[in-house]
Every structure is written in structure tokens, then in C-alpha cells.
Amino acid sequence: MKHTGLCPKCQSRDITGPHRMHTDRNHLKIDLPGMSTATLEAFTCLNCGYTELFPDYGGFENLQRDGRRYTH
């Protein structure tokens, strides 16, 4: 959605964002080991309400460097 401008659920191009996610006082963040964090931004389809979350640029760099790798 962020990269295509297209909602994967309904194919609408009526997308809003990026909007930072908030808790009471701070941005919703991904906690990483040490002091690194990743602030999340939301993109929402105005047709169906589908929402995707992406880390901001600095947060993406922190995830690449310090994020725990998922294994299944």
C-alpha cells in the first residue's frame, strides 16, 4: 500500500497516510534490544478501512541493524 498506492484488500487508490501511531504520550514504537526503537506509521484505505503499519525511515534502519530475526 505504501509503495503501490493501492489497497491490497479492495484495490482502491484512495489511501491516507503516513500517520504516526500514538499511545497516551509517545508514538507507538517497536522495542529493540538496547536503546533503539522504530516508530510506526499507518497508511489507511479510505474505501474499506484496511490499515498497514510501516516503520519510519530511522526506525527501519534500527530494525535492520538491531531487530530480532523471525524464524519459523
Encode pLDDT of 13-72 as tens digits: 999 999 887 665 656 667 777 766 778 889 999 999 999 998 888 888 888 888 888 888
Q: Coil, strand, or helix at residue 29?
A: strand
Domain boundaries, the chain: 15-66
pTM: 0.73
Residue 26 CB coordination number (10 Å): 10
